[in-house]
Amino acid sequence: MVFVLDTNKRPLAPCHEAVARKLLKQGKAAIYRRFPFTIILKKSVDESEIKATYRLKIDYGSRHTGLAILRGQEVVWLGQLDHRTDIKERIDKRRAFRRARRNRKTRYRKPRFLNRRRKDGWLPPSLESRVQN
């Protein structure tokens, strides 16, 4: 899927890679941006071709999040985002390292006691990972 802009940099309906390649070879379009790959048309387009409406549908899951772009009932693009599932194990491992360090005779380490308050906007690590995804 290649994104398309008209001469006034307004978004048009995305096109297939082969169509974009053909427009570029014929000189009817130019590359506007490489990532995400976007082309810009050299001739102006009628207002009636701009009226396509798209919807983004998101299906959240514990291990995967499904993404779909729809035009009416037609599916234009499908994608799947895989979540990290090792967060709990990594937190447990970090806790074990901390406990082992506390049990050693480390006199040089200053005692820490002012780290009990959570920062504003804190989320549990599992939810923080989902937000970042």
* Cα–Cα distance for residue pair 85/15, rounded to 1 Å: 35
Q: Are residues 59 and 41 in the same domain?
A: no
pLDDT band for position 40 (cuts 50, 70, 90): very high
Residue 111 has pLDDT above 80, yes or no: no
- Print the domain residue range for 10: 3-45
Q: Are residues 35 and 56 in the same domain?
A: no
Amino acid at 51: K
* Cα–Cα distance for residue pair 124/126, rounded to 1 Å: 6
Q: Are residues 12 and 38 in the same domain?
A: yes
Q: What share of the chain is helix, strand, coil (3-state, %, to 5)?
A: 30, 30, 45
Q: Are residues 63 and 86 in the same domain?
A: yes
- The torsion angles phi and psi of 80, rounded to 5 degrees, stand at -135, 130
Question: Could you tell me the pTM of the whole model?
Answer: 0.55
Residue position matching structure tokens 């690590």: 125
Strands 3-5 and 74-82: unpaired
The percent of residues above 70 in pLDDT, for the chain, comes to 92
Q: How many helices (H) and strands (E) does the chain have?
A: 3, 6
pLDDT band for position 107 (cuts 50, 70, 90): low
